[in-house]
Amino acid sequence: MGSTIGESWLDYIDRLGYRAQLEAAAVRRHRETTVVNHISPVTAVIGLCVAALAGMVGLAAYWGSGGANAWLTAPGAGNAAIAAEASAPSSSASAGAASQPAMTTMPGTTGTSGTSGTSGTSGTSGTSGTSGTSGTSGTAATSVALTVQTGKMDGKPGWPRFVPADLSVAKGVTVTLTITSYDNGTAPLPASTESYDKVQGGTETVNGSAVTSIPNAELAHTFTVPSLGVNVPIPAVQAGQTSVQVVFTFVPTKSGSFTWLCMAPSGTGASGMGGPMMTPGWMRGTITVA
């Protein structure tokens, strides 16, 4: 059905019953447009807030990772630092951890270590100092002085004498035996005992000069300890002298009580081996090694 001449468009649609529908549709469209116009500004504000928050989070992460410090301390190098962090985030994180200062112990907690002071009990080991008693084996050399007197000196002519006749020394300890003789008489050894003119078992000096033997013709006495292997030849006092000094050094190697004697025939009788040569306390005696 078409519209009649002179009939308006609204009259035409009204006549057909469409006007009410069109008006209703127009009202709905107006309402929708109004709602959209109200919602759009709110949505825009929310979006801006979300974007700003995201930006702040990103900036905080960047600042905490050290990138900002690198950018501030080296102007112009910030972009390079950001690029390096972006290309290797895990390595930068480990490097950041390594750069952190070492954790220190809280003050006061270390005080518990003081219990280690109990180790001071080890000081009791100082008792080992008692081992110093073994020093007796390292004592200074024992010095023994002997004098060879003539018969005129001891009031018995023809009876020379060693004073003292009995000696005591320590085993393993150096003994320095100093013999001062006043006897100017000679007593050469017979051929059978001539070997006793040699120094044996130690070292000897006569008036400060080292010797290994005494000429048999000049021999006056000997100090001989057969069991210790010791022989000390003693020369007669030379003309113009009043005495002779013999120094003999040795180390006893075994313990016991041993006889010493003179091997030179300086006693009485035809052989010169009588009288004082056979009498203890004169030209023979005892040396004790303990």
What digits encode the pLDDT tens for the residues 190-249? 999 999 999 999 999 999 999 999 999 999 999 999 999 999 999 999 999 999 999 999
Confidence at residue 141, expressed as pLDDT on a 0 to 100 scale: 72
In which band, very low, low, confident or very high, does the pLDDT at 8 lie, cut at 50, 70 and 90? low
Q: In the predicted model, is pLDDT for residue 269 greater than 80? A: yes
Q: In the predicted model, is pLDDT for residue 185 greater than 80? A: yes
Q: Rounded mean pLDDT of 129-143?
A: 51
Q: In the predicted model, is pLDDT for residue 84 greater than 70? A: no
Average pLDDT of the chain is: 74
Q: In the predicted model, is pLDDT for residue 27 greater than 90? A: no
Q: Which of 203, 277, 271 is nearest to 233 (CA)?
A: 203
In which band, very low, low, confident or very high, does the pLDDT at 19 lie, cut at 50, 70 and 90? low
Q: Rounded mean pLDDT of 133-144?
A: 59
Cα separation, 183 vs 167, whole angstroms: 21
Contact 248, 214 (CB under 8 A): no
Q: Which of 197, 185, 203, 257 is nearest to 225 (CA)?
A: 257
Q: In the predicted model, is pLDDT for residue 259 greater than 70? A: yes
Q: Does domain 142-289 have CATH number 1.10.287.3240?
A: no
- Cite the beta strand spans of the chain per DSSP E: 142-149, 161-163, 166-169, 175-181, 203-206, 209-211, 219-225, 230-235, 244-250, 256-261, 284-289
Q: In the predicted model, is pLDDT for residue 274 greater than 90? A: yes
Confidence at residue 57, expressed as pLDDT on a 0 to 100 scale: 53
In which band, very low, low, confident or very high, does the pLDDT at 48 lie, cut at 50, 70 and 90? low
pTM given for the model:
0.54
Q: Rounded mean pLDDT of 262-269?
A: 96
Lowest mean pLDDT among 46-50, 90-94, 235-239: 90-94
Instruction: Pick from 69-73, 88-92, 243-247 the range whose average pLDDT is largest.
Output: 243-247
Q: In the predicted model, is pLDDT for residue 283 greater than 60? A: yes
Lowest mean pLDDT among 34-48, 93-107, 182-196: 93-107
Continuous H helices in the chain: 9-16, 19-64, 67-73, 78-87, 89-98, 151-154
Q: Rounded to the nearest 5 degrees, what angle is found at the Cα of 162, between the Cα atoms of 156 and 166?
A: 125
Residue 132: what residue type? G
The residue ranges of every structural domain in the chain are 8-63, 142-289
